[in-house]
Structure 1
Amino acid sequence: MKSLIVYSSATGNTRKLAEVFANEIEDAELLSIQDVKVSMLKNFDMLYLGYWVDKGDLDAASAKLAEHVQNAKIVLFGTLGAADNSEYYTMVKRRIETHFQDAKLYGHFLCQGKVQESVIARYRQMIKEHPDDVHMQEQLKNYEKGRTHPDETDLQKARDFVRSIT
């Protein structure tokens, strides 16, 4: 089975996962989403689409590609700034999967990734303006802790995931 692994990555997190997938999947081509042409999709039996979460949903580039992958065999994988929380992760996965209702979904992997430094700086500034906001303080702690993600544990979970579906 010929597979295409496509990833969208703002900070390198999803690219790391895509590279893990590429090392585990035989006969796979790895491309950044900027290098994918819709006409290429018909040349592959399986699409692995890596995205980053933007405001609880697909990033814009992945959402645009999603419009062209209906009726495809697909595996989704992504990263987000939040720490692993099954309730929130489940909600995000469900929201993202609505973009692929007409596709055959073989699996969906999600893990924490670092956020852009500009986001951390923005939260630091907001906390200065609202020092009693506990939610903002917790978000900032989460983002700062997430600077090391995806870590080796996350990458091993990604390996285990892809092995379970190939």
Structure 2
Amino acid sequence: MKSLILYSSLTGNTKKIAYSIYDAIQGEKDIKNISELVDYSINYENYDIVFLGYWVDKGICDKNSKQVVENIHNKKIALFGTMGASTKGSYGDSIIEKIESIISKDNEILGSFICQGKIAEGLKAKYEEISKLYPENEHIREQLNNYEESQNHPNKQEICEASIFAKDMMIKASTM
């Protein structure tokens, strides 16, 4: 079975998860940074499973990942991503649902993995400015409160969980 790990990473969080997935799986495999692809095209026919990694931007996958997703057809796909906010509770689930909803129906989604990533310093400054303008914005307050906690992510446990996810997806792909 030949695997492709594609990822988009702004701050290095998703790249870290992508490489943990790459290291965890056996067999023929390639790993590619989406931003290094010319016109986002790849010959997907060479691969049995595609792991697609994204970072969350405004409640959905980043625009580069979205462009790649639109070009994948008739494949087994395993999604993984990172986001600055905590993935616990309904917010993380809603992100996964939104991203899964943009995958072409001719693909088979094997599963999804999402974990918290480190929030970039520049984003913290942006949140602080927005908070001054809209102090009642609960999401912005949560993000500011979450900043310190986010600096420890993805952590060892999340990297281990991503590795387990990858192995599970390979087993699932080989039995379907």
Q: Same fold (TM over 0.5)?
A: yes
5+ residue gaps, structure 2: 171-176
Equivalent residue runs for 1:76-115 within 5 Å:
76-100=79-103, 101-115=105-119
Rounded Cα–Cα distance in structure 2 between residues aligned with 1:75 and 1:152: 21
Q: Distance in 2 between matches of 1:52 and 1:128?
A: 26
Moved beyond 6 Å, runs of 4+: none
Compute the RMSD of aligned alpha carbons: 1.7
Alpha-carbon distance in 1 for matches of 2:71, 2:142: 38
Which runs of 5 or more residues in structure 1 are unaligned? none
State the Cα distance separating 1:127 from its structure 2 match.
3.4
Compute the displacement of 1:38 (Å): 2.0
Deviations 1:36-93 (A, max 9, x none): 4524322111111000111111100010011110221111000011112231111111
1:30 is aligned with what amino acid?
I
What corresponds to 2:33 in structure 1? 32
Alpha-carbon distance, 1:135 to partner? 4.7
Answering whether residue 172 of structure 2 is matched by residue 163 of structure 1, we say no
CA contact (8 A) 2:81 2:115 kept: yes
Alpha-carbon distance, 1:144 to partner: 2.6
Task: Work out the CA distance in 2 between the residues paired with 1:134 and 1:60.
Answer: 25
Helix, strand or coil at the partner of 2:4: strand
Moved more, 71-80 or 81-90: 81-90
| AA aligned opposite 2:93 | T
1:151 corresponds to: 155
| Distance in 2 of aligned mates of 1:49 and 1:90 | 17
Shift of 1:159: 1.4
Q: Provide the TM-score with structure 2 as the length reference.
A: 0.86
| Equivalent residues, number | 166
Secondary structure in 2 aligned to 1:125? Answer: helix
Cα deviation for residue 116 of structure 1 reads: 2.0
Q: Which residue is 1:18 aligned to?
A: 18
Point out the more displaced range, 65-74 or 6-15.
65-74
TM-score (norm 1): 0.91
